[in-house]
């Protein structure tokens, strides 16, 4: 397999317009087809480290972003998105085409029945994986991006994918969606950050995507055991506070905000309960981003030390 950035770009552009490009994401194969130049360039730029599969084979999803009709590429340009031939995103102005693609990819991942899906960012460093749950606007993606740009591995900024068989987290490794003030904040935080085009005047304000570090993308087959759940809440000018979060409350928050907990029945309960049992759980309120990152680093460092001591004590017992 070849990475998107290493494949001949001109040939890929043709392939997007004709048979589609087969991209591997979150352990799934997506056939992406589009004749919209902005979408092609967005994928080539944001998914540069992802693997492409040659030829034909099993596609888990076929995603097609197209103009709504033969003349819509010229006049009052509008787009629509199909997943496996069904229209899932109704006609939108052309300027929303890249957002529509990302939303379609989210919809595909949300329909994956073999994993428990939580609405959360996931990062990992030195074997310690932290799940950052929270709704849009809670500050989870901003904190996730800041940690990733300080060397944490990105698993996902949107989906914590838990394997029921062993409770391990499946990396997704897609671009991080940032909104409004967070875009400038992360640009200032990391001078080497690479952003997509900026999409203004959406229902959620201004949106831009941060390209995931290549190391995170290359390691998308490396699952990891979760160790920490931190519920972030961002508020202007609030000093950082980190306090324990009850297990019962954690379970309820994660279940309520899960994409498929209520359809996964007993497997979902066992997987989620096992997650909450195995993780330390905290609530993090923060204003300045640097304080939040410091708090996460300190907590993770303490947990690694405790883990090492525990292993050492077991070995010498």
Partner 1 sequence: MGAQTIDFRSWRLLQPAGLVWRCWDDEYIVFHPWSGMTHYLDAIAGMVFELLLDRAATVHDLATALAALADAPATDTLNSVVQQVLRRFDAIGLAEPMP
Query: Looking only at residues 273 through 292 of this chain, which bind partner 1 when binding is defined by CB under 8 A?
Result: 273, 276-277
**Residue 84 sits in the site that holds partner 1 (CB under 8 A):** no
Residue from the set 110, 248, 301, 312 that interacts with partner 1 by CB under 8 A: 248
Supply the minimum distance, in Å, between the C-beta of residue 130 and partner 1.
20
**Residue 252 sits in the site that holds partner 1 (CB under 8 A):** yes
Residue from the set 190, 255, 280, 303 that interacts with partner 1 by CB under 8 A: 255
Supply the minimum distance, in Å, between the C-beta of residue 131 and partner 1.
17
The whole-angstrom separation of Cα 286 and Cα 242 is 9
The whole-angstrom separation of Cα 20 and Cα 98 is 16
Residue from the set 8, 37, 127, 246 that interacts with partner 1 by CB under 8 A: 246
The pair of structure tokens assigned to 317 is 């017992």
The whole-angstrom separation of Cα 215 and Cα 187 is 20
The pair of structure tokens assigned to 115 is 């994993």
Q: What is the dihedral of CA 37, 39, 43, 44, to 10 degrees?
A: 10
* CB contact at 8 A, 129 and 275: no
How deeply is 155 buried, as exposed, middle or buried, from its count of CB atoms within 10 A (0-12, 13-18, 19+)?
buried
**Residue 251 sits in the site that holds partner 1 (CB under 8 A):** yes
Question: 275 or 284, CB closer to partner 1?
Answer: 275
**Residue 243 sits in the site that holds partner 1 (CB under 8 A):** no
Question: 222 or 270, CB closer to partner 1?
Answer: 270
Binding region for partner 1 (CB under 8 A) out of 166-174, 215-223, 246-254, 309-317: 246-254
Binding region for partner 1 (CB under 8 A) out of 3-11, 34-42, 266-274, 286-294: 266-274
Residue from the set 41, 53, 222, 270 that interacts with partner 1 by CB under 8 A: 270
Distances 33 to 4, 15, 56, 65 between C-alpha atoms, Å: 14, 8, 14, 6
**Residue 127 sits in the site that holds partner 1 (CB under 8 A):** no
Sign of CA dihedral 86, 89, 94, 100: negative
32-50 residues labelled b (16+ CB within 10 A) or e (exposed): bbbebebbbbbbbbbbbbb
The whole-angstrom separation of Cα 146 and Cα 143 is 5
Question: 38 or 280, CB closer to partner 1?
Answer: 280
Supply the minimum distance, in Å, between the C-beta of residue 41 and partner 1.
45
Supply the minimum distance, in Å, between the C-beta of residue 13 and partner 1.
47
**Residue 135 sits in the site that holds partner 1 (CB under 8 A):** no
Give me the helices (H) in the chain, please.
9-17, 37-46, 97-110, 140-148, 181-189, 214-218, 247-256, 265-278, 289-316
**Residue 269 sits in the site that holds partner 1 (CB under 8 A):** yes
Residue from the set 247, 260, 280, 307 that interacts with partner 1 by CB under 8 A: 247
Supply the minimum distance, in Å, between the C-beta of residue 295 and partner 1.
23
Which residues are at the interface with partner 1 (CB under 8 A)? 246-249, 251-252, 255, 261-262, 265-266, 269-270, 273, 276-277
């Amino acid at each position: 397999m070849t990475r998107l950035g290493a494949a001949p770009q001109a040939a890929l552009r043709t392939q997007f317009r004709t048979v589609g490009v087969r991209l591997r994401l979150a352990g799934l194969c997506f056939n992406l087809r589009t004749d919209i130049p902005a979408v092609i360039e967005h994928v080539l730029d944001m998914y540069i480290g992802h693997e492409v599969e040659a030829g034909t084979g099993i596609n888990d999803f076929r995603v097609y972003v197209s103009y709504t009709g033969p003349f819509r590429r010229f006049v009052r340009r509008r787009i629509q998105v199909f997943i496996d031939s069904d229209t899932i995103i109704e006609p939108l102005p052309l300027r929303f085409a890249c957002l529509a693609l990302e939303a379609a990819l989210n919809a595909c991942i949300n329909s994956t029945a073999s994993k428990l899906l939580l609405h959360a960012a996931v990062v990992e460093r030195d074997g310690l994986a932290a799940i950052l749950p929270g709704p849009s606007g809670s500050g989870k993606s901003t904190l996730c991006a800041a940690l990733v740009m300080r060397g944490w591995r990105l698993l996902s900024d949107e989906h914590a994918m838990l394997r029921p068989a062993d409770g391990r987290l499946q990396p997704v490794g897609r671009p991080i969606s940032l909104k409004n003030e967070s875009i400038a904040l992360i640009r200032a935080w990391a001078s080497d950050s690479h952003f997509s085009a900026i999409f203004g005047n959406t229902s959620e304000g201004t949106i831009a995507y941060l390209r995931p570090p290549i190391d995170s993308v290359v390691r998308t087959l490396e699952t990891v055991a979760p160790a920490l759940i931190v519920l972030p809440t961002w508020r202007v000018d609030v000093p950082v506070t980190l306090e324990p979060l009850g297990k019962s409350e954690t379970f309820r928050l994660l279940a309520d905000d899960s994409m498929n907990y209520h359809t996964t029945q007993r497997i979902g309960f066992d997987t989620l309960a096992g997650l909450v049992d195995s993780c330390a759980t905290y609530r993090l309120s923060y204003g300045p981003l640097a304080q939040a990152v410091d708090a996460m680093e300190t907590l993770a460092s303490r947990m690694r030390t405790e883990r090492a001591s525990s292993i050492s004590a077991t070995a010498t017992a």
